[in-house]
């Protein structure tokens, strides 16, 4: 009788363990996941501002849209930078790429009167060239990307100021935009959300698919794990690394 009851009491534990094993999910494994720490930090920050910013409209529709709009411009840049970090690199020059891209757009469209699409292509070409230079120097010299992109940060900042003064005699330039461009890149849409929020969501979804459901994602993880093993496995290490730097700079121009 005692043996039967003991067996009966052990059945729920055994069944739960079997269910846990079959699904491959455990609470301990979940909390060991690297993303959980970042998510918990975000939750704590949100709770803090929800409590102390409640009287200042933090949770209202207007307040929510304001910080979501601000977060979207950072998020557009942060996701490609995350790809670089997975690959074992870093790009801090984007702090100079953002104003350089905006100034290139303003000068080409506002000062020289080029069509908006032409200015857009010029801006992305300049941003992509900066990323290509970063990636090429890192792959050819093996100098740490932190040092390379720090030098690029100061160089691009100085060039932006110098060229804007040389070409336009000013550091501030107005830029007219057609209605479709305002709608696509800058307008407020429903719930007070700007276009950048939807670009952020689109880029997040696209790059999530690339990272987790495509061969390029496996290459990025392999590159961050062991560069020489990745090269021996046939992965184009240098081209992949340069492409990630170009992606980060282009995203900075879009933001």
Question: pLDDT at position 32, please?
Answer: 75
Distance of CA 252 to the CA centre of its chain: 9
Q: How far is CA 249 from CA 81, 142, 177, 182, 235, in A?
A: 9, 20, 23, 22, 23
The tens digit of pLDDT for each residue in 167-183 reads 888 888 888 888 888 88
| CA distance linking residue 171 with residue 173, whole number of Å | 7
Q: Tens digit of pLDDT per residue, the chain (255 long)? A: 445 444 444 444 444 444 444 445 577 777 777 778 888 888 898 899 888 877 777 888 788 888 888 899 999 999 999 999 999 999 999 999 999 999 999 999 988 989 999 999 999 999 999 999 999 999 999 899 999 999 999 999 999 999 999 988 888 888 888 888 888 887 777 778 888 899 999 999 999 999 999 999 999 999 998 888 989 889 999 999 999 999 999 999 998
Question: pLDDT at position 207, please?
Answer: 93
H helices of the chain, where?
A: 2-23, 27-31, 34-52, 61-86, 94-105, 116-141, 145-168, 179-185, 195-213, 215-225, 227-232, 237-254
Compute the C-alpha angle 128/134/174, nearest 5°. 45
Compute the C-alpha angle 122/127/130, nearest 5°. 125
Question: pLDDT at position 17, please?
Answer: 45
188 DSSP β-pair partners: 194
Q: Residue 200 in 3-state DSSP?
A: helix
Question: pLDDT at position 188, please?
Answer: 75
Question: pLDDT at position 24, please?
Answer: 52
């Amino acid at each position: 009788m005692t043996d039967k009851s003991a067996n009966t009491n052990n059945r729920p534990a055994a069944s739960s363990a079997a269910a846990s094993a079959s699904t491959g999910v455990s609470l301990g494994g979940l909390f060991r996941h690297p993303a959980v720490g970042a998510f918990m930090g975000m939750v704590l920050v949100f709770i803090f501002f929800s409590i102390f910013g409640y009287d200042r409209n933090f949770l209202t529709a207007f307040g929510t849209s304001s910080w979501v709009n601000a977060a979207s411009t950072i998020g557009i840049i942060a996701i490609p930078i995350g790809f670089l970090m997975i690959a074992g690199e870093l790009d801090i020059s984007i702090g100079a790429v953002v104003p350089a891209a905006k100034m290139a757009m303003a000068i080409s469209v506002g000062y020289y009167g080029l069509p908006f699409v032409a200015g857009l292509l010029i801006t992305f070409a300049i941003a992509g060239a900066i990323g290509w230079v970063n990636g090429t120097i890192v792959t050819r010299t093996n100098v740490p990307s932190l040092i390379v992109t720090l030098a690029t940060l100061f160089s691009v900042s100085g060039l932006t100021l110098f060229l804007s003064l040389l070409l336009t005699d000013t550091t501030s330039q107005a830029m007219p935009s057609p209605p479709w461009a305002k709608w696509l890149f800058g307008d407020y849409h429903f719930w007070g959300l700007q276009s950048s929020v939807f670009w952020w969501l689109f880029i997040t979804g696209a790059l999530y698919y690339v990272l987790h459901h495509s061969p390029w994602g496996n290459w990025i993880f392999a590159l961050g794990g062991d560069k020489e093993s990745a090269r021996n496995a046939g992965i184009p290490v240098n081209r992949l690394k340069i492409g990630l730097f170009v992606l980060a700079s282009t995203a900075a121009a879009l933001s």
